[in-house]
Amino acid sequence: MKRTSPILRLFFLCLCVVLFSGWSGSWDTLQEESEKLISVSARFTQLKDTRILARPLVSTGRFYFKAPDSVRWEYEAPVQSILLMNEGSVRRYTQGAKGLTEDASAALQSMNVMLREIVLWSRGRFNESTTFTAELKPGPETVILLTPRDKGLEKVITSIEVELVPDKPGVISKVTIGEGAGGVTVLRFSDVVINAPLSDSVFRRP
């Protein structure tokens, strides 16, 4: 099980990094705007498509972030699950046959290591990442393309595309994660609220 950790760690890294960043279309303003980000809450719809599915598998949930390093990534359907990152610890709770239970896998324990990098990125320091290269795609929409630096990671995730809401710095509308061989995960965000007060209890054990 210990071998799970790098993969899941990097995958969560991919998911979180694009949500933590306040990006307004210019590298120069990235860090400045990220520093202004105190909290984020949003609904998300996740569509997973891969060769074994006839149509995308739809999951829905809520996302919360509070600076400097608290995250709640909550799936409401089809499987209820809550991933909490708070005060340096990472825990996951999943609704299963035995009720809402804590996932005790080594993968989640090791996610503590990941936090340091997430915090770095939440400060808008994409260029300092040793995991992905970031590129601003030309066009009318603000789209950022993240590409793994490591060939090993490229076998897991080929690319991440982040689409921002026009004229709303820091608000993400869509994230597309490519896995190669036709596998793709699309996250669409709605009801995004920036810098509203968020209670600490949101990031505590349910």
Residues engaged in binding another protein (CB under 8 A): 1, 3-4, 6-8, 11-12, 15, 46, 48, 50-54, 57, 59, 75, 78-79, 81, 94, 96-98, 101, 103-107, 156-157, 177, 179, 181, 183, 185
Using the minimum distance from each CB to another protein, give the nearer residue, 7 or 38.
7
Cα–Cα dist 3/107, whole Å: 8
Q: How many residues does the chain have?
A: 206
Q: Strand pairing of 57-66 and 70-77?
A: antiparallel
Strand partners, 132: 148
Using the minimum distance from each CB to another protein, give the nearer residue, 30 or 132.
132
Cα–Cα dist 75/64, whole Å: 12
Using the minimum distance from each CB to another protein, give the nearer residue, 59 or 70.
59
User: Shortest distance, CB of residue 110 to another protein, whole angstroms?
Assistant: 12
Using the minimum distance from each CB to another protein, give the nearer residue, 59 or 86.
59
User: Shortest distance, CB of residue 168 to another protein, whole angstroms?
Assistant: 25
User: Shortest distance, CB of residue 25 to another protein, whole angstroms?
Assistant: 27
User: Shortest distance, CB of residue 158 to another protein, whole angstroms?
Assistant: 12
Strand order across the beta sheet in which 132-137 lies = 99-102, 89-96, 81-86, 70-77, 57-66, 39-49, 183-194, 172-180, 159-164, 143-148, 132-137
Residue 132 contacts residue 78 (beta carbons within 8 Å): no
User: Shortest distance, CB of residue 22 to another protein, whole angstroms?
Assistant: 23
Using the minimum distance from each CB to another protein, give the nearer residue, 96 or 166.
96
Cβ within 8 Å of residue 81, ≥6 positions away = 74, 75, 92, 93, 94, 95
